[in-house]
Amino acid sequence: MQNIISIANLHKSFKNNEVLKGINLEVKKGEILSIVGKSGCGKTTLLRCINFLEIPDQGTINVNGVSISTDDFPKNYQNIEKNKIQETNNPFKSFSYQNEIVKKFKNKIYQIRGNIGFLFQDLQLFPHYNVIENVYKPLVIIKKMRKEEAILNAETILLKVNLINHRNKYPHQLSGGQKQRVAIARALAMSPKIMLYDEPTSALDPELVREIADMINMLEKDEITQVIVSHDINFIKLIAKQVVFIDEGEIVEMGLLEKLLTNPVDQRTKHYFDIFR
């Protein structure tokens, strides 16, 4: 199987704190890959670099054949742009979308983001839209779809995630699990090839963890590549075969979950998985 995501020598630091120290990672098409590690190990930053919510300091990222390398960045970028971003507290200026690099590689970045659905830890549903609007409005705004067509699409997806009865409710009227499914539906509506999940179970009651796991397993059948960042090993057990363990900005070990659990090569991996055995 071919690789849909390849990451080579990825470095990223915030101020003087190097969060990613040369990550090399390949994700195969249709695969479910889990990234685990202690909090602060850099797993979320890695995920955010894949769709350029964070701009890497160094490295090459290739998503579905679209490749962006820091070698093509202006030479003084690291000195100038990074300082500027971190100085201002204006969210409209500090966001990666307004950054010089994003401007320069605009087309490529939009292409990459168009292939990726991203599930935020805090979901970030649009609170001024109801459920159906949350799902169909982006289709109208981004894909310039006709409203009727977009609603039809949205209804199909809401049916799939079992939310069609709640189509006219606003996010604040939904339970945690329902919100999660709206967020997934919103991402799926854009028909992404890849789904990235940032700590999808962190806000869920234990009985809902299985529900989201079922959803992820269902999407595997649709050949959607899925990368899940989590520290919830019980959840990982339900979904993943391939697991990457990251510690202090480096990939320590990767392989099948059973192998990392029962027969880890590295001491750090052993130590981390000890508590789950």
Partner 1 sequence: MRSKIIFIFIFFIAYNLLFSQEEFRWAADAEGNVPYIFQDPNNPKLLKGFEVDLANAIAKKMSMKPVFVQNQWDGLIPGLNRGDYDIAINGIEITADRKKEVLFSIPYYYTSEKLVVRSNEQKINGLSDLYGKKIGVLKNSLAERILNTQGGFDVLSYEGEVNAFEDVKNKRIDAALVDFPIALYYTACNTELKQVGPPIGEVVYGAAIRLQDSSLLAKVNNALTSIIQSGELRSILEKWNLWNEVIAIRLNDEKPSTNLHSEFEAYLKSQHTGHNVITTLERDITFLPLFAQGALVTLGISIVSMIIAIFLGLFLAIIRIFGPKFISLIITLFIEIIRGTPLLIQLYIIFYAMPSIGIKFSPFLAAVIGLGVNYAAYEAENYRAGLFAIAKGQMEAAIALGMRRRDALIFIIIPQAFRIVIPPVTNDFISLLKDSSLVSIITMVELTKVYNQVATTYFDFLGTGIIVAAIYLILGLPFIQIAKYSEKHLGLERKRK
**Contacting residues toward partner 1, per CB under 8 A:** 51, 53, 90-93, 95, 97-98, 110, 113-114, 116-118, 120, 122, 124-128, 137-138, 141-142, 170-172, 186-187, 190
182-199: burial string, b at 16+ Cβ within 10 Å, e else: bbbbbbbbbebbbbbbbb
The gap from C-alpha 224 to its chain's centroid, in whole angstroms, comes to 13
Shortest approach of partner 1 to residue 92 CB, angstroms?
5
| Shorter beta-carbon distance to partner 1: residue 171 or 249 | 171
Shortest approach of partner 1 to residue 253 CB, angstroms?
29
| Shorter beta-carbon distance to partner 1: residue 77 or 170 | 170
**In 3-state terms, what secondary structure has residue 63?**
strand
Contact 250, 22 (CB under 8 A): yes
| Shorter beta-carbon distance to partner 1: residue 51 or 153 | 51
Shortest approach of partner 1 to residue 79 CB, angstroms?
17
Tokens 């796991």 — which residue? 213
CA distance 252 to 244: 8
| Shorter beta-carbon distance to partner 1: residue 6 or 96 | 96
CA distance 10 to 46: 8
Phi-psi region of 183 (alpha: psi -120 to 50; beta: other; left: phi over 0): alpha
| Shorter beta-carbon distance to partner 1: residue 54 or 253 | 54
CA-based nearest residue to 220, from 260, 193, 181, 186: 193
| Shorter beta-carbon distance to partner 1: residue 50 or 257 | 50
Shortest approach of partner 1 to residue 251 CB, angstroms?
24
CA distance 175 to 124: 14
In single-letter form, the type of residue at position 239 comes to I
Shortest approach of partner 1 to residue 54 CB, angstroms?
11
| Shorter beta-carbon distance to partner 1: residue 189 or 261 | 189
CA distance 131 to 144: 19
Task: Name the token pair of 49.
Answer: 């670099």
Task: Name the token pair of 156.
Answer: 């199909």
Shortest approach of partner 1 to residue 125 CB, angstroms?
8
| Shorter beta-carbon distance to partner 1: residue 79 or 90 | 90
**Residue 223: DSSP 8-state:** T
Shortest approach of partner 1 to residue 113 CB, angstroms?
5
Phi, psi of 265 (to 5 degrees): -85, -45
Shortest approach of partner 1 to residue 200 CB, angstroms?
15
CA distance 175 to 251: 36
